[in-house]
Amino acid sequence: MTGPARSPRGSVRHLISINDLTDEDLRSIVARGARFRAGTAGPERPLAGDVVGIYFRKTSTRTRTAFSSGALRLGAQIVSYGPDDLQLNTGETHEDTGAVMSRMLEVLVARTAADPGELRMLAAQDRMSVVNAMSADEHPTQALTDLTTLLGHFGRIDGLRVLYVGEGNNTATALALALTRYAGTHLEVRTPPGYGLPDEIRATASAQAARGTATLCERHDMVDLPGNFDVVYTTRWQTTGTSKPDPNWREIFAPFQVTTALWAGSPNAIFMHDLPAHRGEEVTAEVLDGPASIAFDQAENKMHSAMAVLEWCRRGPVAGS
Ligand code: CP
């Protein structure tokens, strides 16, 4: 693997970006997620006595439920905050908010609004772990879920060929940063023109791939697709439910709809989707509800992966995981 040798953090573990994880951290969280899914993680309740804050300023079905249910299953108690609950809304700073919460919570799982810097400000204390449950720029716990799903399905991640079709959004960003750490993987990204991966993410992921044996290719069309993919992956076109300023965006996205035609060159590929889905937009119902789709197993894995993230926050990487 090709990630940072040392995590840029103190004794408290934060997960705000995939880039915060060492290769050991990443492998451990993914392996533990697969073990929680398989029921072989052990009978311990590693978060017994802990209190986990669940703060969501944006809507969520999977991630919020996954971390809430996961924390409870690990023995923690939870405190939930909606978008209107904290004094952040009346002007208290993120740093003060984090400092106060850190005296009462062991972990804060937060989905913020537009500014990814909010999470770093909440993490500017040395007592409480902060987990990014999706910010505008990155969705790291989705990538951990996705790798957990790949490991559970294929028994390996090394060498897998993944075709990502759709917007270069926060899910795509996290996937690119995570998958390119694994040897021999190929990530083919097909994004609509003007809606690609952020330049700095493509550069970071490409450099990471080049240091190892992974490859990353991004194009803005759907022609000359290579074949033999193990996975076809898409996400909804209106990330976080927000519409796009360009009135013609649907015409630009239309060629990137995932249909069964994509399976012509990859007959054994599975289909993944981070959900929620809009059948008839980014993917046809035939694909999402068809035999190749593991999207709902993937959704369940959000909870198993959340448990692995919470365990890592409190205990660090599990030896031999
Ligand atoms: N995939 C995902 O993050 O789903 P939610 O928005 O429902 O949490």
Cα 301 versus chain centre, distance: 11
Domain ranges of the chain: 18-138+302-315, 140-299
303 CA to centre of ligand 1 in angstroms? 11
Substitution candidate for ligand 1 out of 80, 167, 275, 278 with most atoms within 8 A of CB:
275
Q: What percent of the chain is predicted at pLDDT more than 70?
A: 96
Q: Is the CB of 128 under 6 A from ligand 1?
A: no
What pLDDT is recorded for position 183?
Answer: 97
Average pLDDT, the chain: 94
Lowest mean pLDDT among 212-226, 262-276, 307-321: 307-321
What pLDDT is recorded for position 147?
Answer: 98
DSSP string, 192-204: -TT----HHHHHH
pLDDT digits (tens, 9 = 90+) for 65-91: 999 999 999 999 999 999 999 999 999
pLDDT digits (tens, 9 = 90+) for 152-163: 999 999 999 999
Helix residue spans in 131-198 (DSSP H): 140-154, 170-179
Is 80 exceeded by the pLDDT of residue 3?
no
3-state helix vs strand vs coil in the chain, percent to 5 = 40, 15, 45
pLDDT grade for 8, boundaries at 50, 70 and 90: very low
Is 70 exceeded by the pLDDT of residue 20?
yes
What pLDDT is recorded for position 43?
Answer: 84
Of all atoms in ligand 1, which is nearest to the CA of residue 145? 1
C-beta neighbour count of 242 within 10 angstroms: 10
Beta-strand ranges (E) seen in the chain are 51-56, 77-81, 107-111, 129-132, 161-165, 186-190, 215-219, 231-234, 270-273
Is 50 exceeded by the pLDDT of residue 217?
yes
Per the CB < 8 A criterion, the answer to whether 147 and 178 are in contact is yes
Q: Is the CB of 62 under 6 A from ligand 1?
A: yes
Question: Helix (H, G, I), strand (E, B), or coil: what is residue 186?
Answer: strand
Q: Is the CB of 86 under 6 A from ligand 1?
A: no
Strand partners, 271: 232, 293
H-helix or E-strand containing 71? helix 62-73
Per the CB < 8 A criterion, the answer to whether 180 and 208 are in contact is yes
Mean pLDDT of 21-34: 97
pLDDT grade for 2, boundaries at 50, 70 and 90: low
Is 90 exceeded by the pLDDT of residue 319?
no
What pLDDT is recorded for position 244?
Answer: 87
Is 60 exceeded by the pLDDT of residue 10?
no
Q: Is the CB of 277 under 6 A from ligand 1?
A: no
Tell which CATH classification among 3.40.50.1370, 1.10.3720.10, 3.50.50.60, 1.10.3470.10 matches the domain 18-138+302-315.
3.40.50.1370
Q: What are the residues whose beta carbons fall under 8 Å from the beta carbon of 179, sequence distance 6 or more?
A: 143, 147, 157, 160, 162, 185, 187, 214
* Apex 93 CA angle, 91 and 98, nearest 5: 135
Per the CB < 8 A criterion, the answer to whether 283 and 4 are in contact is no
What is the rounded distance in angstroms from the CA atom of residue 133 to the CA atom of residue 108?
Answer: 10
Mean pLDDT of 89-100: 97
Mean pLDDT of 281-307: 98
140-299 classified as CATH 3.90.1170.50: no
Same fold yes or no, 18-138+302-315 and 140-299: yes
Is 80 exceeded by the pLDDT of residue 5?
no
C-beta neighbour count of 2 within 10 angstroms: 16
In this prediction the pTM is 0.96
Per the CB < 8 A criterion, the answer to whether 263 and 290 are in contact is no
What is the rounded distance in angstroms from the CA atom of residue 263 to the CA atom of residue 190?
Answer: 15
Lowest mean pLDDT among 38-52, 134-148, 236-250, 276-290: 236-250
Estimate the crossing angle of helix 140-154 against helix 62-73, to 10 degrees.
70
Of all atoms in ligand 1, which is nearest to the CA of residue 299? 1
Q: How many helices (H) and strands (E) does the chain have?
A: 10, 9
